[in-house]
Amino acid sequence: MTCVVMKFGGTSVGCIENIKAAARKVLDLQGQGFRPVVVVSAMAGETNRLVDLSHSFHITNPKASDTILSTGEQVTTGLMTLALQELGAKSQTLQGWQVPIVTSNDFSKARIESLPVSKLNTLLQDNIIPVIPGFQGITKEGEITTFGRGGSDVTAVVVAAALGADACHLYKDVSGILSGDPNLVENPKVLDRLGIEEMFEMSSQGAKVVHPRAIEAAFVHDVNLKILPTFGGGKGTEITSVSLESQTITGIVCNGGEVRIVLQNIPVSPGATACLFDVFAKAHISLDMILQGGAVSEDNQTQNLTFTLPEEDEKEAVALTKKLQKKIGFTHMDVHPRIAKVSLVGAGLRGHASVAQMLHQTLAELGISLYGMTTTELKMSVLVSDEYAPQLVKQLHKNFNLTQQKEGQHATSSTLSA
């Protein structure tokens, strides 16, 4: 009998009826001969409520905040267990500290370091369905940690990897991975299959349907991943290890939560900015588009450095950069909020010259200026003002002919939006 990890997101367990419906899906899979392990998120809106409670105070304490936020998923584990037992199944909760899911001590951004499966295997051998909270773990010192928004996906994939599970199913309130944000474009395609590298690019560029760390873990540990709809029919999206080369553009992703920072007149030296990136790494601030060069001084002794980061990290990043001004040697720092990153994602994209041509033609037609551009084998990203991003995404989706052609498949929730 093979093991399958089933993860249900916040909307999927947003009320008692939804939890009962999810429990029936678990038993359906068990009836097919699988041993399910269930990972749950907090009920829809619960994490936001807990965040608001923690913000009622004028001090910041990440350790205390993680203790507060972890309760959302713990409640859902109990409710899911009751739902399974009501249907006649044997089920038991295992909280993060009981597994245990051991993490780093980076509160609110913790990473899983070890996950012993002896307790899980014991339950599975006795035909008991384990129900685990996503999004959280425990440090070696016994402190509760969380992984950041969307972290339940990470829990599910790592549990699947540790167990050597046959598959990991992520149940969402969408019909699958879409080619674009249905709030911006009409009838985006539901992608039946998607290469894992393309999925990682989509997630890392702003698609919120699956946490990028979950995709990373699935890639590293070769986890068979499927994105499935909790409600209604549909086969969802299978994440494969091989991209389909014939499909130039898979999807268009828009991330509006970006801040662009420009450091001017940095001395031209390989080590001039090394200390900056070191400090950011230690603060767990992830930089995205990094552009070095441009506006080089006449004597070729200085140049500019441009990078983008999530808007929630702006305050900390600016403060850290200011402290390093003398060491780095820049003369001015310009901070540009309300920046959007629009990314075209697809296998072998860089080898198609027509993609760049169409992108720039669309920008010209709409009269939109770009602040930066990067290209890899799988994505082509541009920075624009966020007020123009929806228009650009809509037109690009039309120009690349990504509209859903099959009848009866219409998205009702945002997938590739940020």
Q: Supply the pLDDT for residue 288.
A: 83
Check whether 307 has a pLDDT greater than 70. yes
Check whether 400 has a pLDDT greater than 50. yes
Check whether 245 has a pLDDT greater than 80. no
Half-sphere exposure of 178 (CA within 13 A, CB side): 32
User: CA–CA separation, 95 vs 70, rounded Å?
Assistant: 10
User: CB–CB of 214/196 below 8 Å?
Assistant: no
The stretch 110-116 carries a mean pLDDT of 95
The stretch 217-246 carries a mean pLDDT of 83
**Superfamily (CATH H level) for 3-172:** Acetylglutamate kinase-like (3.40.1160.10)
Average pLDDT for the chain: 88
Q: Supply the pLDDT for residue 410.
A: 39
Check whether 122 has a pLDDT greater than 90. yes
Confidence of residue 407 (pLDDT cuts 50, 70, 90): very low
Q: Supply the pLDDT for residue 267.
A: 87
Check whether 298 has a pLDDT greater than 70. no
Q: Supply the pLDDT for residue 369.
A: 92
Check whether 283 has a pLDDT greater than 60. yes
Which CATH fold topology does 253-399 show? VC0802-like (3.30.2130)
For residue 270, the tally of other CB atoms under 10 A from its CB is 6
Rg (CA), the chain: 23
DSSP H helical ranges for 60-192: 62-69, 71-86, 118-125, 151-163
Confidence of residue 170 (pLDDT cuts 50, 70, 90): very high
Q: Supply the pLDDT for residue 294.
A: 58
Check whether 159 has a pLDDT greater than 90. yes
Q: Supply the pLDDT for residue 367.
A: 94
Q: Per residue in 179-193, pLDDT tens?
A: 888 888 888 888 888
Check whether 47 has a pLDDT greater than 90. yes
- Which of 117-126, 243-252, 258-267 has the largest mean confidence? 117-126
The stretch 70-87 carries a mean pLDDT of 97
Burial class from Cβ neighbours inside 10 Å (0-12, 13-18, 19+) for residue 17 reads exposed
What b/e sequence results for 302-323 when a residue is b if at least 16 CB atoms lie within 10 Å of its CB, and e otherwise? bbbbbbbbbeebbeebeebbee
Beta bridge partners of 194: 239
More confident residue, 196 or 262: 262
User: CA–CA separation, 371 vs 57, rounded Å?
Assistant: 38
Q: Which of 148-152, 325-329, 407-411 has the lowest mean pLDDT?
A: 407-411
H or E, element range at 193: strand 193-195
| Structural domain spans, the chain | 3-172, 253-399
Burial class from Cβ neighbours inside 10 Å (0-12, 13-18, 19+) for residue 292 reads middle
- Closest by CA to 165, choosing from 277, 306, 2, 324, is 2
The reply to whether 3-172 and 253-399 are identical in fold is: no
